[in-house]
Amino acid sequence: MTATVDTIPVVPGAPVVGSVAELATDPAAFFVRCYTEHGPVFRVRALRRTLTVLAGPELARWMGSREGRESLRSAEVWQGLVDEYGATRTLTGVDGPEHRRLREVMRRGYSREALDGRLDELVAITDECLDRAWRPGSSVPVVEALQFLVTSQLGTVLTGTVPTQYVRDIRTTILYILNALVTRQRPEVILRSPVYRRSRARVQELGEEMIRAHRAREPRPDGRRTLVDDIMDAHDADPDLLAANDLVLALTGPYVAGLDTVANTLGCLVHAVLAHPDVLARIRAEADDVFASGPLTEDSLERLTATNGAVMETMRLYPIAVAQPRVANRDFTYEGHVIREGEPVYCAITVPHFLPEMFPDPLRFDVDRYTPERREHATPGAYAPFGKGPHTCLGKGIADVLMTLTAARLFHRLDLALGPRDATLRRRAAPTPGPVASFRVRVTRERRPR
């Protein structure tokens, strides 16, 4: 007999506020507990909202299936962002053929191939940031320093613009918009804040300057293109697909998408590696060898096995996209439960990261899970740090390279130490999970000069 919507279990929570405290503290652990206790479909109350949560190893396959694609939509989740920018659409907020067309416009610019022949350039950018903010004897605010580093890398590679003077504005705009318009953890009235309005205006200014710079720029002698070139050419060719009022949102998208995600993941990785001296020794040994071997190539990255394992393990244990918010596009059945059209749905895709049947001893930091001999992540449904389904992160290839290369260079060049206050990683959950802003490391010495 088919179950009805009324059989979906509701997770017990506090009066009025529901489970908001657990969601705000450690959403990944909360969803794992709920899945273990209530199964693959459950409801969560958070203040005035009730969310239907889908979870379990089967979820990844289902989201990529035709049924999953047709059962979920994204428009309502991102409509507030679109309206805030006075735009028509954004890549994350459209589905179906329109999404595929926009994704194809941006695919090359966000892909790993955008880094072809530029790995040594990325190292040079990393070195400049390390020389500026990671000096021997200093105490470094890790997340903030990594935000400046990531902005420099993304700007150079994806857009040809390095807007480090806008980092705090981008960061502030992200925090307010995600809190008020996407996750809805805060009331929209916070968008009236003068701090937010100034930052938002500065991000608009950045986007408009990128448009002007593109129009004035001569073609590059080497023929190299950036994401900005692809977006602007697509707008010129088909303004109905990429309208003029969508350009600022599309052009500043790499910073909005990458600033928090990459910097927060790298921040967690720095702590995890320093807390595991055996892993640190392996990363240093392979990094020392790679950086002593001449110009970097794709093969150089393949030799950074422990570093890549540390990146993957950090994304497993400290996922940024804990759950993907969606809306039910129609009535559908998942794991025997009926979800009704229009219901807010959270796809808790990272629950399998913490299941022992997928990853034995799941809370242990083990960089060898991803070796050819073990391949724990290859079990269907086990590993989803970049999301699943049609909206899987477009920049996952470039993010992997940036994080692996940055981590290798950081530990190759510097000796870092955790202070007593940061011996245990303290994290915040909203609006994107990551280390607390006060997390610091001490630079004890420079191991290798640039």
Note whether 378 and 415 are same-domain residues.
no
pLDDT digits (tens, 9 = 90+) for 172-201: 998 898 888 887 778 889 999 999 999 999
**Rounded average pLDDT over 364-383:** 96
Please, what is the Cα angle at 123 between 415 and 408, to 5 degrees?
A: 45
Confidence grade of residue 368 (pLDDT, cut at 50, 70, 90): very high
- Does 124 score more than 90 pLDDT? yes
DSSP string, 275-340: T-HHHHHHHHHHHHHHHTSSS--HHHHHT-HHHHHHHHHHHHHS-S-S-EEEEESS-EEETTEEE-
Note whether 170 and 272 are same-domain residues.
yes
- Does 6 score more than 70 pLDDT? no
Number of structural domains (the chain) is 2
Note whether 356 and 409 are same-domain residues.
no
pLDDT digits (tens, 9 = 90+) for 279-337: 999 999 999 999 999 999 999 999 999 999 999 999 999 999 999 999 999 999 999 99
Which amino acid makes up residue 60? Answer: A
**Rounded average pLDDT over 94-116:** 92
Note whether 224 and 207 are same-domain residues.
yes
Q: Is residue 95 part of a domain?
A: no
Give the model's pLDDT for residue 258: 77
CA atoms within 13 A on the CB side of 418: 20
Q: Enter the pTM of the model.
A: 0.93
Q: Is residue 97 part of a domain?
A: no
**Length of the chain, in residues:** 450
pLDDT digits (tens, 9 = 90+) for 401-442: 999 999 999 999 999 999 888 999 999 887 788 999 999 999
Which of 285, 210, 244 lies closest to 88, judged by CA? Answer: 244
Note whether 344 and 277 are same-domain residues.
no
Domain span holding position 380: 1-85+322-392
Note whether 311 and 398 are same-domain residues.
yes
Note whether 336 and 288 are same-domain residues.
no
Which tokens in the block code for residue 364?
A: 């242990």
Find the CATH number of the domain harbouring 185. 1.10.630.10
Q: In angstroms, how far is CA 294 from the centroid of its own chain?
A: 31
Mean per-residue pLDDT of the chain: 92
Q: Is residue 96 part of a domain?
A: no
Note whether 242 and 337 are same-domain residues.
no
Give the model's pLDDT for residue 241: 93
Give the model's pLDDT for residue 1: 40
| Domain end point (choices 347, 370, 392) | 392
When mean pLDDT is compared over 105-109, 159-163, 220-224, 270-274, the highest value belongs to 270-274
SS3 381: coil
CA-CA distance, 52 to 27, in Å (whole number)? Answer: 14
pLDDT digits (tens, 9 = 90+) for 39-55: 999 999 987 789 999 99
CA torsion sign for 294, 300, 303, 309 is: positive
Note whether 406 and 337 are same-domain residues.
no
- Does 164 score more than 80 pLDDT? yes
Note whether 445 and 312 are same-domain residues.
yes
Q: Is residue 58 part of a domain?
A: yes
